[in-house]
Homo-oligomer: A and B are copies of this chain.
């Protein structure tokens, strides 16, 4: 047979698991989209169709829901670690598990003032509205020895309406862009960061929830506070701020589309449209500049793939 099998993996993708926890009348919610990918001793199923080493994807789905009940969902990362270890440790032919998770955040519907007026009842503690800002992501990989935990987010859209310039670039035959000393800088941040935690028994486990909240905050602050000469510079400041502020993180990669906001040329109508006066912009869809880079703690080995994906 002149062809051979290379890297392969399989599992159930996009298991939409919602766990409610009740603390008296106060409810809590965790809302995840969990994707399982398993690798191991799986040549036969490809070559001959023998499923003797195959844990059905349907079973991996059942396991996600059963584990959510048995163990609860403390955080996406902690839940992913439990699942990854189970699949590898408890299924002989499976040698590696990769769990990818998207998390959707909810906030409480605050009703205290309304109650007094409408129903005189206690405040409602079981009502939520989806926050709808970024999607939080996590990827947990376990190979029977160590673990790798990547946390991340996507679709966090940010905009600075000033303190951004772009000039001094290469001009070749095909260059028509005019230099700009006061432009809007906007992007939709996708980021993945790698924790240096490897799952050892002596290791202290990060506080995943706090780590995420702080990392997001540092990115937002660095974005806001950087006087930007290029989106690359802003990206590096964001990554550097995270690495410098969060000792548990060694590496971060960004994929940041330049969401162009072009100042509209109103001169045909004898109108000025200067940034300094508060301008009108056209928010463009395509094409868009796409800036991608990794920022590392000095000495760390890069492990996050160049192309970031989820699911």
Closest B residue to A8 by CB, please name it. B293
Give chain B residues whose Cβ lies under 8 Å from the Cβ of A12: 287-290
Contact of A3 among B11, B276, B296 (CB under 8 A): B296
Binary B-proximity of A158-179 (CB < 8 A = 1, otherwise 0): 1111110011111111111100
A289 and B10 form a contact (CB under 8 A): yes
Contact for A27 among B48, B57, B162, B309, CB less than 8 A:
B162
**B169 and A54 within 8 A (CB):** yes
Q: A7-B306, A10-B290, A269-B66 are in contact. Are A22 and B132 (CB under 8 A)?
A: no
Closest Cβ of chain B to A263, distance in Å, is 10
* Residue contact B159 to A45, C-beta cutoff 8 Å: no
A286 lies within 8 A of chain B by Cβ: yes
CB <8 Å contact, A157 and B177 = no
Q: A56-B169, A170-B56 are in contact. Are A6 and B302 (CB under 8 A)?
A: yes
What's the tally of chain A residues with a CB closer than 8 Å to chain B? 155
Task: State the Cβ distance, A4 to closest chain B Cβ, in Å.
Answer: 5
**Is A14 in the interface zone, CB < 8 Å from B?**
yes
Which of B8, B11, B132, B291 is close to A131, meaning CB atoms less than 8 Å apart? B132
Residues of B within 8 A of A298 (CB): 1-4
Contact B269 A3 (CB under 8 A): no
Cβ of A78 < 8 Å from any Cβ of B?
Answer: no
Q: Which residue of the partner chain, among B90, B121, B172, B235, contacts A55 with CB atoms under 8 Å?
A: B172
A157 to chain B, nearest CB (A): 4
A230 within 8 A of B: yes
- Other-chain residue from B66, B129, B283, B287 in contact with A61 (beta carbon distance below 8 A): B287
Quick one: which of B127, B175, B280, B307 contacts A56, CB cutoff 8 A?
Answer: B175
How far is B227's CA from A119's CA once the two chains are assembled, in angstroms? 11
Contact A19 B158 (CB under 8 A): no
Per-residue 0/1 for A42-84: is the Cβ within 8 Å of any B Cβ (1 yes, 0 no)?
A: 1001111111111111110111011011100000000000000
Interfacial chain B residues near A9, Cβ < 8 Å: 292-293, 306
Task: Decide: A264 and B10 in contact? CB cutoff 8 A.
Answer: no
Binds B, one of A108-116, A143-151, A202-210: A108-116
